[in-house]
Chains A and B, each alone.
Chain A
Amino acid sequence: MTVVVFVESKNGNLVKAGLEAVSYGKRIGETTVVTFGDLSSDALAGAGTYGASKVLVHRGITEGNGDQLTQLVAKTAESLGADVVVLAQDQTGKSIGPRIAAKLGAGHVSSAVDVPDTSNGFVVKTNVFSGKAFAHVAVNSAIKVISYTPNSLAATKDGGNAPVEELNLDLGDNRITVKERKLQEGDVAPLPEAELVVSAGRGLKGPENWGIVEDLAKTLGATTACSRPVADIGWRPHHEHVGQTGIAIRPNLYIASGISGAIQHLAGVNGSKTIVVINTDAEAPFFKAADYGVIGDAFEVLPRLTEAIKKFKESNN
């Protein structure tokens, strides 16, 4: 099968979720990566390492926007006669994945967590009911578009060198004008693609107490998250809210402190590979979903855990 994978870049590098999508694509067929912006040949070579056999870069657009990116991917897929288009289901993916599908007349599968099963048709396992179940979705159209859930599968470095070609497609107008862009600073991974997440809830008692949460996150190199009430009362920014009505995440490690583990919270985090719960209440429902539980006071346990991680990191260097 011919596969086209769209990959975005950040700070001059192809994003991790996109590279996972490349490895995903390679498991389906011969994969061409399409990307955009002013990227170095080193950065582009990364796509080959993860399984692309060719990389197409459009340098005419430097900032992602839905109208032109939809054109970029749809036109590339058409010109290569692609059977499958893959992209990561992050914010950009949500904005363009279904549009690309509608443009191509393709069936679209969102929240894919595994490679398609082609033993009988083309069936993709997807996350539904906010992580409480999976749907196995058959795609009946000739062309198929798959939005891949970040962190579902590892990016594997089993590729080689991929030639890079410049694309000079006319992508039409962009009808949305960006007035201002505020990007998070630093190198911390955004929530949907973070591998390590440190989260806290109402048990922390007030925004002034988040220092111990941030210390742990910093020591681990983790992204911070929070429960819904904490975002609602303004202790933490909205973009940190995880759960059924917030962001759904599936990191390798989710550390939750002072969060009771309400069903709506669990819905967004139960895809995490390993869950650590820190709570004073031994009866907190979260322990039922936890791999490791610490019955104790977050105000004491978090700093202790931070110290233990520091020690571990030093001895491993």
Chain B
Amino acid sequence: MKLLVCISKAPDTTAKIAFTDGDTKFDENGVQFIVNPYDEWYALVRALELTETSGGTVTTITVGTAADDPTIRKALAIGATDAVRIDADPKDSFYVAKQIAEYAKANEYDIVLTGKETINYNGAQVGAMVAELLGQPFVSLATKLEVAGNVATLERDVSGGIEVVEVGTPFVLSAAKGMAEQRIPNMRGIMAARTKPLNVVQPVDCDDLTSVVAYSKPDEKAACKYIDPENMDELVNLLHTEAKVI
């Protein structure tokens, strides 16, 4: 089985969210980057499990600059066979999807896996766009994946419930919670990752369909109003007359 896992870096979940350059850029100062949890915990680990039992390779692909290499090495430490980095500073989701689709087209994978979204941009776009660009089926929000020959059986979240679906390879999926359990890389994996191939590939041309003009932060909350735990009638009253939510 030949699998391609899309890996994005994301700020650590405790990172301070601030902006620079007149609120047009995320302030990376002092921010630790991690592999986007959905990409790592669910997409990558499930891909590794599948190839460990049935054979095959897991290639990771990242659209990013050399600053992304440590994140890519982390994915290699967890067990990926090799890595590809499309050398570009990604502008928007379509740009990323276009680069991945071009690479995937030329190299023919059985399954392309992405996380369901990144925790910084929360776009939930790349997987679906890659599928469309490749002309392949897309299974969104997959929580389980089994593969037998050329047919995969998946469980996925749909509005108001879950579905069990069957699809032939090749296809694209986005992975959500339930797919696999997080793996902590061991020393051997970390050592091996240093020498695994990380191929840098030039991007193809692509227009920016969208661009961020500015960032802003939500308004600060007013101070919390404390209610006597004995007096829930007061809370209900406030929810009705002040907050107007019930």
Q: A133-B215, A190-B159, A289-B221 are in contact. Are A103 and B132 (CB under 8 A)?
A: yes
B232 touches A301 (CB 8 A): yes
B217 touches A10 (CB 8 A): no
B209 touches A176 (CB 8 A): no
User: Of A96, A129, A291, A294, which is within 8 A of B221 by CB?
Assistant: A291
Identify which of A52-60, A163-171, A202-210, A237-245 touches chain B. A237-245
A136 touches B213 (CB 8 A): yes
Q: Shortest distance in angstroms between A263's beta carbon and chain B's nearest beta carbon?
A: 6
Most buried by B among A108, A267, A296: A108
Complex alpha-carbon distance, A288 and B245, angstroms = 20
Tally chain A residues at the interface, Cβ within 8 Å.
Answer: 97
In the complex, what residues of A have CB within 8 A of residue B127's CB? 98
User: Of B11, B13, B229, which is within 8 A of A264 by CB?
Assistant: B13
User: Of A95, A107, A253, which is within 8 A of B239 by CB?
Assistant: A253
Identify which of A37-45, A75-83, A272-280 touches chain B. A272-280
The digit string for A206-219, where 1 denotes a CB below 8 A from any CB of B, is 00000000000000
In the complex, what residues of B have CB within 8 A of residue A94's CB? 116-117, 124, 128, 140-141, 174
Please tell me if A97 contacts chain B, counting CB pairs below 8 Å: yes
Instruction: For chain A, residues 175 to 205, give those with C-beta under 8 angstroms from any C-beta of chain B.
Output: 175-184, 190, 195-196
B226 touches A276 (CB 8 A): no
A91 touches B141 (CB 8 A): yes
A178 touches B14 (CB 8 A): no
B210 touches A244 (CB 8 A): no
Nearest CB in chain B to that of A120: its residue:
B213
In the complex, what residues of B have CB within 8 A of residue A107's CB? 92, 94, 209-210
Given pairs A274-B243, A293-B226, 20 additional interface contacts (CB within 8 A) = A10-B159, A91-B158, A94-B140, A95-B141, A97-B128, A99-B128, A99-B138, A107-B92, A123-B213, A128-B215, A175-B171, A178-B165, A179-B166, A181-B158, A264-B14, A292-B226, A294-B235, A295-B226, A300-B229, A305-B232
Chain A interface (Cβ < 8 Å from any Cβ of B) = 8, 10, 15, 64, 66-67, 70, 89-92, 94-99, 101-103, 105-111, 123, 125, 127-141, 175-184, 190, 195-196, 220, 231, 238-239, 241, 244-246, 248, 252-253, 263-264, 267, 270-271, 273-274, 276-277, 287-297, 300-301, 304-305, 307-309, 311-312
Chain B interface (Cβ < 8 Å from any Cβ of A) = 11, 13-14, 17, 19, 37-38, 92-94, 97, 116-117, 119-129, 131-133, 137-141, 143, 153, 157-168, 171, 174, 177-178, 207-218, 221-222, 224-227, 229-230, 232-233, 235-240, 243, 245-246
